[in-house]
Amino acid sequence: MSDAQTPPVNVILLGPPGVGKGTQAQILVENRGMVQLSTGDMLREAKKSGTEMGNRVAEVMARGELVTDEIVIGLIEEKLTTVKADGFIFDGFPRTLAQADALADLLKKTGQRLGVVIEMQVDDEILVQRIVGRAEQAKAAGQPVRADDNEESLKFRLMEYYKKTSPLIGYYHAKGDLKSVDAMGGIEEIATKLDEIVEQAKAA
């Protein structure tokens, strides 16, 4: 099959809060012309857009409710069908098995394929120490710090991640889509590993 016929490779980044998914997604965007689909960014963008879907998002958020999977999938479909990209990076979605099934259906519907799911693995204790340390440095330098960048909040967020999202690791492993990288190294070292995995997925 020639490159012209091969659909772009789409990538899901999995990993606990603070592991560096956003940073690595940006590097892939810059190096490969991919587009990062961050659920949070899409919801904020939709809220301001004034479109029918955007108004739905604004109403739900105004009521203080969680945005439904149906709305998030609708926003992703909008991006997949209107944005030209050499593949999409899903950051923050899917978070549950139901969302993973919905995304698989959507990719099929839009004629796209999932190239690879990359799990960024870390030592939880070291991750917590690293984020708390960064927050303390930022605070000392007078820079803004997230209110929940403290040890107790981070451990709670990690627990929530493993409870809700870790089943995805087994799900994608069973499908043969999962690759894992050690995310405890430097940014460039991790970026090189991710790039190699994406290149292999593209060639598959």
Instruction: Catalogue the active-site residues.
Output: 21, 95, 134, 146, 157
Alpha carbons 184 and 19: distance in angstroms, whole number: 8
Alpha carbons 97 and 127: distance in angstroms, whole number: 25
- Are 59 and 88 in contact, with CB atoms under 8 Å apart? no
Angle at CA of residue 99, ends 163 and 60, nearest 5°: 95
Beta strands in 34-188 (DSSP E): 35-38, 88-91, 113-121, 178-182
Amino acid at 192: T
Beta strands in 4-92 (DSSP E): 9-14, 35-38, 88-91
